[in-house]
Amino acid sequence: MDLITCGSTRAQAPLITTIIPCFNSADTLRRTLQSVHIQSTPTQIVIVDDGSEPGQARQILRLGQKAGAKVLRIPDRQGPAAARNAGIENSDTKYVAFLDSDDVWLPGKLAIQVSEMERKELDFTYLPYANVSRDRVSRMPVRDAIRRKELLGNTVIGCSTVMLRRDFIGDRRFADAPCEDLAFWAELLGGDGQAHLATDEVMVLRHAGGRSRNKFKAAFRYWRTLRRSMRLSLAETTRHFIPYAVHAMLKHWGPPNRRPVLPESDKIPA
């Protein structure tokens, strides 16, 4: 892969690499990076520019240099899976965390998560998150722990909430799938693996737009991921799709699980 590398990392050796894929997202990246820098736990930042337009690429590069990040540029866009994989390849820390370029971490996110992983020797943790739209902030429902079978019927793991032990990832990588994160979590969990909730406090604010905004298109991507990318049988795909559809409706249209979250203003990076 043709990557142009520049920038540096923080002087203090961190336990965590934060991987941020970008595509024409300079406008939101500044706030995202600020949310990383207010963390009390040091982290190496790897920004992967996935073929942004020249003007956007220059802005992303400047923001990355200012943040002391390592900036990788993929000249021709290859998608979020390839961008995250490039970040993984350029990580050498004990843990890897993922953060989308339009999402925000609240203060203490890394400290809480890495402390729980160290204390319990966990390989895979995630956190509650809230969807942020123009007129409200809504907490999405989560479970205390989840296995592969449960995950495929209820996609509760937000990518920007995930932290993984680097040696647990090994040689496994994101596949070029419509729902690349879901396919990767399922591969990591395998038959008996389990992902754990590190805290019940919302630590991630997720932009409510993007690929998941149109729920019908999201459902179609989910179906194609199970059938084409994961190669599940029609019967197995249908068995997972039914609870997925029910949970999706409850999360986005049903009031019982849409408990408003109103973080304190000083907790949200300006």
Number of domains in the chain: 1
pLDDT of residue 135: 66
Global pTM exceeds 0.85: yes
pLDDT of residue 132: 85
pLDDT of residue 3: 54
pLDDT tens-place values along the chain, 270 residues long:
555 555 444 456 899 999 999 999 999 999 999 999 999 999 999 999 999 999 999 999 999 999 999 999 999 999 999 999 999 999 999 999 999 999 999 999 999 999 999 999 999 999 999 988 776 778 887 889 999 999 999 888 999 999 999 999 999 999 999 999 999 999 999 988 999 999 999 999 998 665 555 678 888 989 999 988 899 999 999 988 888 888 777 666 544 344 444 444 344 454
Q: What is the CATH number of the domain that holds 61?
A: 3.90.550.10
pLDDT of residue 216: 82
pLDDT of residue 266: 40
Enclosing domain of residue 66: 4-267
Which residues are paired to 132 by β-bridges? 137, 207
pLDDT of residue 247: 73
pLDDT of residue 139: 85
List of residues 6+ apart from 96 with CB closer than 8 A = 16, 17, 19, 87, 88, 163, 164, 166, 169
Please provide the size of the chain in residues: 270
